């Protein structure tokens, strides 16, 4: 698989998940955590899925029907679809319908049948690192955890501070000053400075 990673703006994502078990719950939670709006269709939604019901998560407790993914049902307002039932034939129908509509689709039990896969993700504030490992999720999770052990809240704080500085300088029309600050603060020694605590002192010079 030749992967092309992208990062979607979660707040602009409208997702449809077909399935009501633990896999559907995990996918829904990840989307909701990113700010997405989620519609779940499941004949028997589990307790975990039912607990997700909210203004941004609408649950339809009924079997999937072909009309759920008709052009009228999803056109213009569905960003991606997840097939996460415990029946391969239903997941295949969901995938076929999504591809026919040109909508991104993830198939939980058959990743190759979809158009995207979800990655093992580590978040530290606005720092997001995602890993894929040739279809071996256990390896991706191990690598993700190794990354997470280093890139912790110290990096979340540093990234947040840099983002605020960038926004302040650009809003003030000081683009050249931001270029100078970025070159100074985000150089070869950035990681060492964050981990030693030196970064906060370096940043203070630009406030």
pLDDT digits (tens, 9 = 90+) for 108-147: 989 889 999 999 999 999 999 999 998 888 999 999 999 9
Tell me, rounded to whole angstroms, the distance of Cα 201 from its chain centroid.
Answer: 32
109 shares its domain with 165: no
38 shares its domain with 102: yes
Region 27-43 average pLDDT: 94
pTM above 0.75, yes or no: yes
**What pLDDT shows up at residue 75?**
63
DSSP state, residue 103: -
28 shares its domain with 81: yes
3-state helix, strand, coil in the chain (%, to 5): 50, 15, 35
Does pLDDT of 195 surpass 80?
Answer: yes
The count of structural domains within the chain is: 2
112 shares its domain with 194: no
Does pLDDT of 73 surpass 70?
Answer: no
153: left (phi over 0), alpha (psi -120 to 50) or beta: alpha
Q: Say how far apart CA 205 and CA 185 lie, in whole Å.
A: 10
Region 150-155 average pLDDT: 96
**What pLDDT shows up at residue 76?**
65
193 shares its domain with 100: no
Banded pLDDT at 81 (limits 50, 70, 90): very high
Q: Say how far apart CA 64 and CA 87 lie, in whole Å.
A: 11
Q: What percentage of the chain has pLDDT greater than the value 90?
A: 83
Q: Say how far apart CA 7 and CA 85 lie, in whole Å.
A: 25
């Amino acid at each position: 698989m030749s992967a092309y990673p992208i990062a979607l703006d979660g707040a602009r994502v409208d997702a449809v998940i077909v399935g009501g078990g633990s896999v559907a719950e995990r996918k829904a939670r990840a989307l909701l955590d990113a700010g997405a709006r989620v519609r779940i269709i499941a004949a028997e939604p589990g307790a975990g899925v039912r607990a997700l019901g909210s203004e941004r998560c609408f649950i339809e407790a009924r079997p999937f029907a072909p009309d759920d993914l008709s052009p009228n049902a999803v056109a213009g307002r569905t960003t991606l679809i997840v097939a996460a039932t415990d029946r391969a034939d239903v997941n295949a129908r969901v995938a076929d319908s999504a591809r026919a509509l040109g909508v991104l689709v993830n198939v939980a039990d058959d990743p190759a049948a979809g158009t995207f896969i979800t990655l093992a993700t580590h978040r530290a504030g606005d720092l997001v690192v995602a890993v894929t490992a040739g279809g071996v999720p256990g390896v991706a999770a191990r690598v993700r955890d190794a990354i997470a052990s280093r890139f912790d809240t110290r990096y979340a704080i540093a990234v947040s501070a840099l983002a605020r500085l960038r926004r302040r300088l650009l809003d003030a029309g000081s683009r050249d000053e931001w270029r100078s600050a970025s070159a100074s603060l985000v150089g070869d020694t950035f990681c060492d400075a964050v981990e030693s605590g030196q970064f906060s002192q370096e940043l203070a010079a630009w406030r």
